Amino acid sequence: MATTEPLRRNQAPVRVTAVNDGVWSERPDTLATEEPMEIRVAGPDQEGVQVAVTMRTPGGDYELAAGFLFTEGLMRPEDLRRVAYCDDLDAAEQRYNVVTVTLNRPFDPAVLRRNFYATSSCGICGKAALDDIQVRCAPVGSGPVVAADVVSSLPDKLRAKQKVFERTGGLHAAGLFTADGDLVSLREDVGRHNAVDKVIGEQLMAGGLPLANHILQVSGRISFELVQKAAMAGIPILSAVGAPSSLAVEAGERFGMTVIGFVRDARLNVYTHPERLA
C-alpha cells in the first residue's frame, strides 16, 4: 500500500538573541520545521493530479496525504492502492515534498470543485462546505459513554507525549484515545488540521476506520474543519483545550458529535450531545 517513508528532520537549529531582564545573550535554539507539501492523486495508468498544497511539519507525510484525501471526501478507504514520494522531480530538494496517492480506480479531476490551499494557521474551511460535507458524511454513531474525569485527563496525557513540542514549543497535537483514556495514536504538526489528518490517515492505512469508539483530543481550538474531519472518520467525541467556533458547534450538532472545549484544570464545557458524558 505504501513504500517506506524515510525519516525527515522535524526540527531546525537556529541562533537567537535572548533578552532576559535586560541582559542580552546569544544562544542556540530549536524550531519546528515547516515545509510545503504537494498532494497528488492518480488512478490506474493516470498521471498524478495536484489536489492540494499544505504547509506541514515533515514526518507522517503518507498519513497526511491519505488522511487529507479521505477527510475531504476525495477517496474512500478501499480506494487506496499506494502512497509514495514522487521520484521524477528535477529538483532533488523537492523530492520529499511531493506525495502521490494512487487509487485502484480512475480519479476524475472534475470532482475538484475548488482549489485546495491549506495553511498551517487556518486550513480548509468555510460555511459553503457544510451542506456539501453532510451529503457525503453520515452522522456519527452512538459511540461510547465516557466518564467526565477521563476527558479531563486527556490534555495532560497528550502534552506528556508531545516530544517535538517539548523541544520547540511550536506544534499542535492530535491524540486518538479509547473510551477509557488510553492513547492509541498521537501526531504533531505546525497545522492543527494536519495533525488530525495524520492521525486519521494512519488509521485508514491500517484498516482501522471508522473510529466509532474513540475520542479525539486536540491541543488548540476546535474549528469547523476539525469537526468535519472527525465526522468523516466516524469519531463521536471531539475534545480540545481551547474553544470551539460557532460553526464547529453547528457542525457538531448536525453530525451528532459531542464537542467539548476548555478542557483544563478538571473543568470542561460540553457544547453538543452531552449524553455521551457520564
Q: Which residues participate in catalysis according to the annotation?
A: 122
> Who contacts 122 (Cβ-Cβ below 8 Å, separation ≥6)?
none
- The greatest distance separating any two alpha carbons of the chain, rounded to the nearest whole angstrom, comes to 64
Residue 244, all three cell numbers: 470551539
Burial class (CB in 10 A: 0-12, 13-18, 19+), 8: middle
Q: Which among 133, 78, 86, 85 is positioned nearest to 105, based on CA atoms? A: 78
* Nearest partner of 48 among 77, 6, 4, 89, judged by Cα: 89
Find where cell 474553544 sits. 243
Tally of CB atoms within 10 A around 24: 8
Backbone angles phi, psi at 272, to 5 degrees: -140, 150
Q: Is the dihedral of CA 253, 254, 258, 260 positive or negative?
A: negative
Q: Is the peptide bond before 13 cis (omega within 30 degrees of 0)?
A: no
Contact between residue 157 and residue 150 where contact means Cβ atoms under 8 Å apart: no
